[in-house]
Chains A and B, each alone.
Chain A
Amino acid sequence: GAVVSQHPSRVICKSGTSVKIECRSLDFQATTMFWYRQFPKKSLMLMATSNEGSKATYEQGVEKDKFLINHASLTLSTLTVTSAHPEDSSFYICSARDQTQYFGPGTRLLVL
């Protein structure tokens, strides 16, 4: 299947700082990418749909000013967690759609 990468795989930051997570489709172009968040022992929760060249579509309850999404090219989407707080600590997973939807390995964020 198609390969999706994420960087970094894990990040630790101080409260109040911003963190950027990159999602890349390595062997296909994706006009649509998705960002999910997963808390321990919980299922994945869709945060937003990222569309190349246009604004992201956020799910209900997700703050668009806190979770900034940029999809500037057909192979790259970024999620920036602004002014991170300890409650933002989570496992962030992106996915990209080719014929099917493929997922990245995830980024574990710990906010101290």
Chain B
Amino acid sequence: DAKTTQPPSMDCAEGRAANLPCNHSTISGNEYVYWYRQIHSQGPQYIIHGLKNNETNEMASLIITEDRKSSTLILPHATLRDTAVYYCIVRVAGNTGKLIFGQGTTLQVKP
């Protein structure tokens, strides 16, 4: 599975959009981009995933560049409860792929 690069930390003001970048320049054509987050002392929570089209759900939006070498997770209106470590992971779809976690981005939402 391809590796990802994320900034170690970011701050965001409460109520503003949080844009979390991820580089995955070695991504393969059959690899999806997954985003999870981990709030302190809890298990990771699934946020969203995509292949090449932009995706949106009730939690976030995922913007994937046309060349698929990078993506951005957008939390449209960050709240204090969104403070967490956010992980961007690329994985082959289906039953053969494993989720391998990198260091992630620690997002601190400030009042």
A, B in one complex = yes
Q: Taking CB as reference atom, which chain B residue is nearest A97?
A: B95
User: How many angstroms from the CA of A95 to the CA of B34 in the assembled complex?
Assistant: 15
How many chain A residues have a CB neighbour from B under 8 Å?
A: 24
**Chain A 24-57 residues near chain B, CB threshold 8 A:** 31-32, 34, 36, 43-46, 49
Q: How many angstroms between the C-alpha atoms of A102 and B38 in the bound complex?
A: 12
Q: Produce 1/0 per residue, B77-111, CB < 8 A to A.
A: 00000000001000000010011111110000000
Cα distance A106–B44 when bound, in Å? Answer: 9
Evaluate contact between A103 and B43: CB separation under 8 angstroms. yes
Residue of B nearest to A91 (CB): B41
Number of interface residues of B (CB under 8 A): 19
- A102 near B101: Cβ-Cβ < 8 Å: no
Contacts known (A49-B98, A95-B99, A106-B41); A43 close to B104, Cβ less than 8 A: yes
> Are A102 and B99 closer than 8 Å at their CB atoms?
no
Query: Considering the chains assembled together, what is the distance between the CA atoms of A34 and B44 in angstroms?
Result: 13
Q: Does B45 reach chain A (CB closer than 8 Å)?
A: yes
Whether, in the assembled complex, B68 has its beta carbon less than 8 Å from a beta carbon of chain A, the answer is no
In the bound assembly, the distance between CA atoms of A93 and B43 in angstroms comes to 6
CB closest chain-B residue, reference A45:
B101
